[in-house]
Amino acid sequence: MSYYYQGNLAMELEKQSRSVTKTTKRTIRIKPTIPTGEKLLYLLFISLTVIGLGMVGVRYSQISQMNYEIQSTKKENRLVAEKNATLKLQIEQLSNRDRIQREAERQGMVYNANAVHTIGQGKVKASSLQQQQPNQP
């Protein structure tokens, strides 16, 4: 039943006393923030860490590039050394005395033992070509 239809005064007082709410104050603690100086110190530390890592990365990249260049240079040197070895072998084959004599005879030259000069020895054997030139027509 509702209190409205009841005419008892005691019920009204009871009704009012129940409706009174207790107000309690809650204390809210605001957590203190990090001081500005400490924030700047953290920012500085993080910045230095990022810069340091960046420098390490750049240096690693440079080292990798140098290693690549060294490897390519070594490969190029090896190829040049092989080419030099083949050219030296070819020089030895082409400077063979018998081959030179055959090539000269093929081109129509005549072997003259008196006109041969030996170089690189203590004694130089050479007949002068000037003595033979007057004999030639």
Both structure tokens of 66: 């140098």
Answering whether pTM is above 0.85, one says no
Tens of pLDDT, residue by residue, the chain (137 residues): 555 555 555 555 555 555 556 778 888 888 888 889 999 999 999 999 999 999 999 999 999 999 999 999 999 999 999 999 999 999 999 988 889 889 989 998 888 878 877 777 655 444 444 444 444 44
Two tokens at 76?
């190029």
What is the four-CA torsion angle of 103, 108, 114, 116, rounded to 10 degrees?
A: -30
User: What letter does residue 3 receive in the DSSP assignment?
Assistant: T
The closest alpha carbon to 116, from 102, 103, 129, belongs to: 129
